[in-house]
């Protein structure tokens, strides 16, 4: 029983570490100076949304892991990959101010999260369902990222430069 819940702690610590890495790249004046669409969420929305999504990610992985299913290790690898990509987006977008590169990376992240969710579905339907809000948020973030990129001079030169 203790081992079962110790893995929950491990998975929640993994998402907390991911959130800490992602949050280490401050939004800063650069972001506030960007031209934004009228539907851009206010800054206070992002913290609560990401907090819920990270908890759901951790719970979903825990549900998969504790299932004992033979495919859980493969699902764990997808999950770890999406965590790394998650933190990488913040580095590209907020750290380096590369909205074009961040958009490309976010496209890969979205694909990996979909594949992770598919792997979860073979093990635990509830775990897969807990990933759906994350997918929906990433789709929204993708549209926002491409909009910010385009509104602020996006083009092939901005990706390469």
CATH number of 2-160: 1.20.1260.100
- Going by C-beta distance under 8 Å and a sequence separation of 6 or more, which residues neighbour residue 161? none
The Cα 88–Cα 154 span in angstroms is: 20
- Going by C-beta distance under 8 Å and a sequence separation of 6 or more, which residues neighbour residue 140? none
pLDDT digits (tens, 9 = 90+) for 83-129: 999 999 999 999 999 999 999 999 999 999 999 999 999 999 999 99
Give the residue extent of every domain in the chain.
2-160
The Cα 36–Cα 10 span in angstroms is: 37
- Going by C-beta distance under 8 Å and a sequence separation of 6 or more, which residues neighbour residue 58? 8, 11, 12, 14, 15
- Going by C-beta distance under 8 Å and a sequence separation of 6 or more, which residues neighbour residue 103? 142, 145, 146, 149, 154
> Across the chain, what does the average pLDDT equal?
93
The stretch 35-63 carries a mean pLDDT of 96
The stretch 62-86 carries a mean pLDDT of 94
What are the phi and psi torsion angles at 69 (to 5°)? -65, 145
CA 74 from chain centre, in angstroms, equals 19
């Amino acid at each position: 029983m203790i081992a079962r819940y110790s893995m929950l702690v491990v998975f929640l610590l993994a998402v907390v570490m991911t959130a800490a890495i992602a949050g280490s790249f401050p939004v800063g004046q650069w972001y506030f100076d960007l031209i934004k669409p009228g539907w851009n969420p206010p800054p206070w929305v992002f913290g609560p949304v990401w907090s819920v999504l990270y908890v759901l990610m951790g719970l979903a992985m825990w549900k998969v892991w504790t299932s004992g299913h033979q495919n859980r290790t493969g699902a764990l690898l997808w999950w770890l990959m999406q965590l790394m990509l998650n933190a990488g987006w913040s580095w590209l977008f907020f750290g380096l101010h590369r909205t074009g590169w961040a958009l490309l990376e976010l496209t890969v992240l979205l694909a990996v999260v979909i594949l992770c969710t598919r792997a979860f579905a073979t093990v635990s339907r509830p775990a897969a369902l807990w990933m759906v809000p994350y997918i929906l948020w990433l789709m929204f973030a993708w549209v926002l990222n491409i909009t910010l990129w385009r509104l602020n001079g996006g083009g092939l030169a901005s990706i390469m430069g």
